[in-house]
Amino acid sequence: MVSAATRDRVLKAVSDTGYRPNVAARNLRARRSMMVLVVVPNLANPFYGEILRGIDDGLVEAGYGIIVGNLDRQTEREARYVDVALSGQVDGVLLLSGRVPVGSSGQTICDAGLPIVTVCASIPGLDATHIVIDDRAAAREVATHLLSLNHTRFGYLAGPASSINETHRRRGYLETIRAAGFSGNDIVILPGRYDIQAGVEAAEEWLRLAPRPTALFASCDAMALGFMKRVITAGCRIPDEVSIVGFDGIEFAELAEPTLTTVRQPRYRLGRAAANGLLARLRGEQGGNQSVRLEAKLCIGGTTGQAPVAAPAVSLVHP
């Protein structure tokens, strides 16, 4: 609402002086920062890279920038990001970590009163938008697939106990196997922590077992790939001696030989949905506790096959 003449005069002055608005001043005055904090458990895992891409694409369009808070799997690092939120450096928070970050003096990131969206891990009781897939149903599908291949001894390569995803995946897997008539004796649970090395260590444990489970569900691809590499190195054939299923659907799962059977999460779309959910809350359009569920899909690769028949063959000889 200015005359054309004035506008031109202003625009000319802008380009003459090379004027640039100062963002700190604007933020101070407007009481917002146009920044969003994204708390990531482990930047080194490419699973998060792709989600981050979706988040970035969604937020940048709306003029928001992202501040990355990498926990590097260390809970102690949460405090830093609680401070970032509490000191007004960001307008909203995106939690990929499945936990509410806790500060050094007992406050949580919720005390900042900022809009929060969680991705890939709904946190019970948290007033936030939760962008999720159905971990439990996906894990059931994994178990059903392995049962259909006549496996009778099952392994589960777990994530960290603190992870809510871990809980759901384990439950879905175990309940389906039990429902098929198997007992705890038919199931071996190997501890893990969602990284490659954990998969390697679990493989070493598995190699020492007798009898070995013939089917292994690793609760993330990084672990599945580490496991796979280690057992191949030990001379095992996949899927002849052991069937392996991962979870996440990272690109490298497709590059494994054989291609890893895995649950593919729509990572980019999860990121976009998270950005949209947060933008809606930032605009005040939404509040309360709600969930958006995206589809995950079991992708059958070459790492799963019929259970080996060695044992039954022996029993036929001695009826």
Partner DNA sequence: TTGAAAGCGCTAACAC
Partner DNA sequence: GTGTTAGCGCTTTCAA
Counting residues that bind DNA (by CB under 7 A) gives: 15
Contacts of 64 (CB under 8 A, 6+ apart): 34, 35, 36, 91, 279
**What is the crossing angle of helices 221-233 and 196-208, to 10°?**
50
> Nearest distance from residue 21's CB to a second copy, in Å?
6
> Nearest distance from residue 69's CB to a second copy, in Å?
8
> CA-to-CA distance for 235 and 213, rounded, in angstroms?
16
> CA-to-CA distance for 309 and 241, rounded, in angstroms?
10
> Nearest distance from residue 184's CB to a second copy, in Å?
31
34: helix, coil or strand?
Answer: coil
Counting residues that bind a second copy (by CB under 8 A) gives: 46
Choose the one of DNA, a second copy, none that binds residue 46, judging by a C-beta under 5 to 8 angstroms depending on kind. Answer: a second copy
> CA-to-CA distance for 112 and 81, rounded, in angstroms?
11
Instruction: Give backbone dihedrals phi and psi of 39, rounded to 5 degrees, phi first.
Output: -95, 115
- Cα separations (Å) of 130 from 35, 36, 122? 20, 16, 5
- Looking at the Cβ atoms of 148 and 251, the one nearer to a second copy is 251
Choose the one of a second copy, DNA, none that binds residue 209, judging by a C-beta under 5 to 8 angstroms depending on kind. Answer: none
Interacting span for DNA (CB under 7 A) from 17-25, 77-85, 92-100, 108-116: 17-25
Instruction: Give backbone dihedrals phi and psi of 17, rounded to 5 degrees, phi first.
Output: -90, -10
> Nearest distance from residue 158's CB to a second copy, in Å?
20
Burial pattern 119-147, b for ≥16 Cβ within 10 A else e, equals bbbbbeebebbbbbbebbebbbbbbbbbb
Tell how strand 261-264 and strand 243-248 pair up.
Answer: parallel
> Nearest distance from residue 33's CB to a second copy, in Å?
6
Does 18 sit near DNA (CB under 7 A)? no
Does 313 sit near DNA (CB under 7 A)? no
Determine contact, residues 173/140, Cβ cutoff 8 Å: yes
Window 21 to 60, contacts with DNA (CB under 7 A): 21-22, 25-26, 28-31
Does 261 sit near a second copy (CB under 8 A)? no
Query: Residue 215 class from Cβ within 10 Å (0-12 exposed, 13-18 middle, 19+ buried)?
Result: buried
Interacting span for a second copy (CB under 8 A) from 131-139, 172-180, 247-255, 281-289: 247-255
Single residue of 3, 6, 17, 87 touching a second copy by CB under 8 A:
87
The site string for a second copy over 23-62 (x = CB under 8 A, - otherwise) reads: xxx-xx----x-x-------xxxx-xxx-xx--xx--x--
Does 242 sit near a second copy (CB under 8 A)? no
Does 66 sit near a second copy (CB under 8 A)? yes
Residues that bind DNA (CB under 7 A): 1-3, 5-6, 19-22, 25-26, 28-31
